[in-house]
Amino acid sequence: MRLWTVHPKYLDAQGLVAAWREGLLAQAVIAGRTKGYKRHPQLERFLAHRDPPRLIASYLWPIYDEAKARGYSFDHSRISLAPGRVKMNENEGQLMFEWGHLQAKLKKRSPNIWRRWKELAIPEAHPLFRMVPGPKREWEKG
């Protein structure tokens, strides 16, 4: 499970579909509708928030918007709550770690998209996140 800190506009088709599916899975975990993934490290920052259901919905809406802009037909009725203005802090180091991780994925599986973004030094964050100074999250591998 990867709940990206980077803006969904940087994801290739496979990444955008995966972000949608994994976000919906996270929503189900937060709602208590699954047996697995309850302790997945990617969920820590969402579960620590005062309103995890609102937060994960706020994560999913920009992914839906990006998919719609690309002509994909994601079903917005699967998002449990209407769009909100919830924000959460995330470390700049986490954003940069993910940017490197995404760049490696894009270079292999979507070279045209990788070339489009490879010169970008600092990516835009997913609209949910307010970037603050700090390192990558301790649960990240590598």
pLDDT tens per residue, range 23-41? 999 999 999 898 766 777 8
Phi, psi (degrees; rounded to nearest 5) at 90:
-145, 150
Q: Given this model, what pLDDT does residue 90 score?
A: 96
Q: Which amino acid is at 89?
A: N
Both structure tokens of 40: 């997945």
Contact 26, 141 (CB under 8 A): no
The verdict on pTM exceeding 0.85 is yes
* Low-confidence residues in the chain, pLDDT < 70: 36-37
Distance CA 4, CA 97 (A): 11
Q: Could you tell me how many helices (H) and strands (E) the chain has, helices first?
A: 5, 2
Q: At what angle do helices 13-30 and 92-109 cross, to 10 degrees?
A: 130
Q: Given this model, what pLDDT does residue 79 score?
A: 96
Q: Which amino acid is at 85?
A: R
Q: Given this model, what pLDDT does residue 141 score?
A: 81
Contact 14, 109 (CB under 8 A): yes
